[in-house]
């Protein structure tokens, strides 16, 4: 019976040691997993913050792009208006100059006729005298 008791005590101590070893191993694994999950949470939070900042920057750039496009469209409208106005003014100037040229041409032709008539008259007068 003493042998059975000592064997039973030895078995009980062996089980206790194994239990303690298993408990310490499990505690170590749990601590390791907790550390890993905490690190993972921190990394995910940092990435999320980074992505949020990037999303805000993209949003700002998009709003600026939309504003720039509107500005360019307004400028195009202004350029078209100025181009139409320039063509109108150029046409008016061209028409005015064409009118002046026609008047000058008529004046030159009249003057040429008068000079021709004056030359013929001078010939006749010269022939008579």
pTM, full prediction: 0.49
Residue 128 in this model has a pLDDT that exceeds 80: no
CA distance linking residue 33 with residue 22, whole number of Å: 16
The whole-number pLDDT of residue 1 equals 83
52 pLDDT above the threshold of 80: yes
Task: Give the pLDDT score at 88.
Answer: 96
Per-residue confidence (pLDDT) for residue 122, from 0 to 100: 85
> pLDDT averaged over the chain?
94
Question: Looking at the predicted structure, is the pLDDT value of residue 129 above 70?
Answer: no
Looking at per-residue pLDDT, the higher value among 28 and 4 belongs to: 28
Residue with tokens 């030895």, as numbered in its chain: 10
pLDDT(48) > 80: yes
> What are the tens digits of pLDDT across the range 66-85?
999 999 999 999 999 999 99
| C-alpha triplet 41, 47, 48: angle, nearest 5° | 85
pLDDT in tens, 87-117: 999 999 999 999 999 999 999 999 999 999 9
């Amino acid at each position: 019976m003493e042998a059975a008791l000592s064997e039973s005590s030895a078995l009980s101590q062996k089980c206790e040691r194994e239990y303690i070893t298993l408990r310490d191993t499990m505690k170590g694994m749990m601590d390791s997993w907790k550390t890993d999950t905490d690190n993972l949470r921190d990394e995910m939070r940092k990435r999320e913050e980074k992505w949020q900042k990037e999303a805000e920057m993209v949003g700002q750039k998009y709003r600026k792009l939309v504003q720039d496009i509107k500005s360019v469209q307004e400028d195009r409208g202004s350029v078209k208006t100025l181009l139409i106005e320039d063509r109108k003014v150029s046409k008016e100037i061209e028409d005015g100059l064409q009118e002046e040229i026609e008047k000058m041409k008529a004046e030159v032709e009249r003057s040429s006729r008068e000079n021709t008539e004056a030359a013929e008259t001078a010939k006749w007068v010269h022939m008579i005298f």
